[in-house]
């Protein structure tokens, strides 16, 4: 059994539930839209914000979609995945992303990052947005670096937005006494909720329509099983829906019924 055979069996133009969707083709469920609106506000206000959500809830997708809406000539987006920060430190990454050669000593490096950020604004007329993904993994030293960075920049005139993305534990971590100074500067917090059952159905239909199937392909009970097992989380729903298509194909069924959905759930549980 190959992807090609499954694609052909269901008449898809490409295999649905892939992860590389263009921002304009994303599904606009409530949580996604709310996250987008808040991130846009954060950028406009040059504020510090924390977006939390379960693994696969759509945090990175929402942040990327919000960045795609920004006028590119007027914004500099510095997206830091956690491994990147781990290797060189937040300041060195920011300096490198703004085209500088990171200085060796911490004090010099901090000043250098501040200068480059200020120049980005003053000389290029760009707003800077720093996004730190997987922020729940930041260690105490990295959080302290962020605090220093925001202190140095936020008190001056330099516009600079900071968005921390992370799993729900990030909120509690920031509330710990040692990070209170950073936590107090956070003006925007949003916990990205999972999709409702209705949203999961429309999410699945949306992905199918993008691949050329606008008619009913998943039965209602299959959708409700997938919603429950995937807890309304987009990544889990994608995986279950894809697996359910495979099961339906193996059953030689024209639609994804409850049986195929159950098989998918059992298989995903076994992984």
Ligand X SMILES: Nc1ncnc2c1ncn2[C@@H]1O[C@H](COP(=O)(O)OP(=O)(O)O)[C@@H](O)[C@H]1O
| Residues at the site binding ligand X, with contacts judged by CB under 6 A | 19, 21, 26-27, 32, 53, 55-61, 234-235, 238
Segment 114-143, which members bind Mg ion (CB under 5 A)? none
Closest to ligand X by CB, 32 or 227: 32
Q: Tell me the residue number closest to Mg ion, measured at CB.
A: 60
Measured from the CB atom, is 18 or 72 closer to ligand X?
A: 18
CA angle 22, 26, 32 (to 5 degrees): 130
In this structure, what DSSP letter does residue 251 have? T
The interface partner of residue 21, options being ligand X, Mg ion, none and the CB cut-off 5 to 8 Å by kind, is ligand X
Nearer to ligand X, 35 or 116 (CB): 35
Judged by beta carbon distances under 5 to 8 A according to partner kind, the member of Mg ion, ligand X, none in contact with residue 254 is none
**Which positions ≥6 away from 107 have C-beta within 8 Å?**
none
User: Nearer Cβ to Mg ion, position 60 or 142?
Assistant: 60
58 binds, among Mg ion, ligand X, none (CB under 5 to 8 A by kind): ligand X
Residues facing residue 212 across a β-bridge: none
Task: Please report how close the Cβ of residue 180 comes to ligand X at its closest, in angstroms.
Answer: 26
Residue at shortest CB range from ligand X? 58
**Contacting Mg ion within 49-78 (CB under 5 A):** 60
Least gap, CB of 264 to Mg ion (angstroms): 23
Contacts (Cβ under 8 Å, ≥6 apart) of 53 = 31, 59, 167, 168, 191, 192, 193
**The two structure tokens encoding residue 164:** 């921390």
Q: Residue 247's beta-bridge partner residues?
A: none
Which of ligand X, Mg ion, none does residue 194 bind (CB under 5 to 8 Å by kind)?
none
Strand order in the sheet with 160-166: 75-80, 127-132, 160-166, 48-52, 186-191
- 159, with CB counted inside 10 A (0-12, 13-18, 19+), is buried
Q: Which of Mg ion, ligand X, none does residue 173 bind (CB under 5 to 8 Å by kind)?
A: none
Cβ nearer to Mg ion, comparing 10 with 203? 203
Instruction: Write down the least CB distance from residue 22 to ligand X, Å.
Output: 10
- CB closer to ligand X, 53 vs 232: 53
Please give the radius of gyration of the chain, using alpha carbons only, rounded to the nearest integer.
22
Least distance in Å: CB of 244 to ligand X?
A: 16
Helix residue ranges, H only, the chain: 3-10, 30-45, 59-68, 82-88, 90-97, 106-122, 140-154, 169-175, 180-183, 197-210, 220-230, 234-250, 258-270
Q: In the complex, which residues of this chain contact Mg ion (CB under 5 A)?
A: 60
């Amino acid at each position: 059994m190959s992807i090609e055979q499954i694609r052909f069996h269901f008449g898809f133009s490409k295999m649905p539930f892939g992860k590389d969707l263009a921002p304009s083709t994303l599904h606009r469920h409530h949580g996604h839209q709310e996250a987008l609106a808040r991130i846009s506000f954060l950028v406009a206000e040059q504020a510090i914000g924390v977006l939390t959500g379960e693994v696969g809830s759509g945090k990175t997708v929402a942040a990327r979609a919000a960045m795609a809406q920004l006028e590119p000539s007027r914004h500099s987006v510095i997206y830091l995945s956690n491994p990147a920060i781990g290797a060189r430190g937040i300041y060195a990454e920011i300096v490198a992303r703004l085209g500088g050669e990171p200085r060796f000593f911490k004090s010099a490096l901090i000043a250098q990052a501040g200068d480059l950020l200020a120049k980005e604004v003053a000389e290029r007329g760009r707003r800077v947005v720093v996004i730190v993904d997987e922020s729940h993994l930041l260690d105490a030293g990295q959080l302290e670096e962020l605090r220093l960075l925001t202190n140095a920049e936020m008190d001056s005139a330099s516009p600079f937005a900071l968005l921390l993305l992370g799993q729900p534990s990030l909120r509690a971590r920031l509330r710990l006494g040692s990070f209170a100074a950073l936590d107090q500067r956070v003006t925007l917090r949003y916990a990205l909720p999972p999709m409702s059952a209705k949203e999961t159905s429309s999410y699945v239909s949306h992905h199918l329509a993008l691949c050329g199937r606008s008619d009913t392909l998943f039965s209602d009970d299959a959708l409700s099983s997938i919603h429950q097992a995937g807890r309304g989380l987009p990544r889990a729903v994608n995986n279950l829906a894809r697996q359910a298509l495979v099961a339906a194909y193996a059953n030689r069924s024209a639609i994804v019924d409850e049986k195929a959905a159950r098989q998918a759930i059992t298989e995903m549980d076994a992984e």
